[in-house]
Structure 1
């Protein structure tokens, strides 16, 4: 009797989506807040476009550099812990064996069952180290190319997100009119971005869209109030 093959679908691009979320979220909120804050003091949209483009360029570079440093820090931390586990297995094998047994028992194995696996893994040092890294420390080996991919993804996401709130200012001369259009377009972009993010991660798209709009809206409002305060203060 023919059966439908069982295909499991799991989301495996968490790091890439996280980078897009970091870059796009900031890109949608920070340039909007800057432009909105300046609107109270500057009437010409052209000036706001110039300031906004400068901020988007600087922000995308800064965000990309931040992503690079964060990913490189993760890689350095992993390799530091890896070297330490190698040393501990070499210098304190009995202690490390007890830790393996403890981890296995936390997963429901009886002590005698765990002892069998411990005895087997002690003769496979590389597998032993990988086991400790994964199940004791909760660390996965980072992709060696992630450092550059993360920097690029975050930077480009910020650039794309940052251009959205600025678009209306390119087409209207009055900054106040541009602000109204910018607020509406940014809100729509947050909804769409949230929905796509939810669909990509396998969560409820509508709920993700609303949450992204609310969180982004609160962040943009706070940043707008700060920018407006400084623009009036100057």
Structure 2
């Protein structure tokens, strides 16, 4: 019965962590995907009259941006995994060669959570019997590190890259159906600002920030970036 409960708890924790990682990746990809291509399209709209040029430039930017963002997610995931592996090797070395010190650190952990001296001794003796389990315990409770998913880097790259593409298509899509760049910009601004508001609201809801304020802030950032790009293009034009 205990094993069954432990398995369910472990599965629930893994699902929760995977869900959090996925949502974080989507937020990173979508926020940049909505903002950067929108600002680019707005800037080009202030400099060129044809929507075709904006479409070509926008597609190129989305392709480059999604690859760059995906690569950033991949490197971040690999760095996390490499950090865990290095710390795990160090803990194995300390368990093998600095056993007494590790025993004292383990007892100290149990003391900090309020266990009696006798229970500290028993718990430490029990956990120190299995070196792998001991190392896993120290990784989690001494260093505060959870074992990362070995596929995390690849998943992160895909999640962020695809989210960037989805976000980037929204401000660019009106230009597919208009010949005049300014007309495309009008429809793009309406569609993108609505999406930014919804995205900001959902993101703020997830992170515990006031949803309305979060939505307005994200929308304002996107609008400011696009307006600045459009103004600079007009100025130089």
- Checking the alignment, whether the CA contact within 8 Å between 1:27 and 1:160 is kept in structure 2 is yes
TM-score by length of 1: 0.84
Between Structure 1 and Structure 2, which shows a larger proportion of helix residues?
2
Q: Normalized against structure 2, the TM-score is what?
A: 0.83
Partner residue in 1 for 2:98:
92
The two structures, once aligned, show a CA RMSD in angstroms of 2.6
Give 1:217's aligned residue.
220
**Between 20-29 and 114-123, the greater mean CA deviation after superposition:** 114-123
Instruction: Provide the aligned length of Structure 1 versus Structure 2.
Output: 224
Structure 1 position 36, deviation (Å): 0.8
Change (3 A) 1:219 1:106: farther
Gap change, CA 1:223 and 1:132, over 3 Å in 2: farther
Unaligned runs of 5+ in 1: 1-7
Where 2:148 maps in the other structure, the secondary structure is coil
Pairing partner for 1:144 from 146, 150, 157 = 150
Once residues 36 and 145 of structure 1 are traced to their aligned partners in structure 2, the CA distance between those partners, rounded to angstroms, is 37
TM alignment of 1:156-175, pairs within 5 A: 156-175=162-181
> For the residues of structure 2 that align with 1:61 and 1:216, how far apart are their CA atoms?
25
Determine the C-alpha separation between the residues in 2 that align with 1:105 and 1:212. 45
How far apart, in 2, do the equivalents of 1:104 and 1:232 lie?
A: 66
The answer to whether structure 1 residue 53 and structure 2 residue 59 are counterparts is yes
Q: 1:35 aligns with which of 41, 48, 55?
A: 41
Q: Which residue of 2 aligns with 1:24?
A: 30
Distance 2:77 2:216 in 1: 28
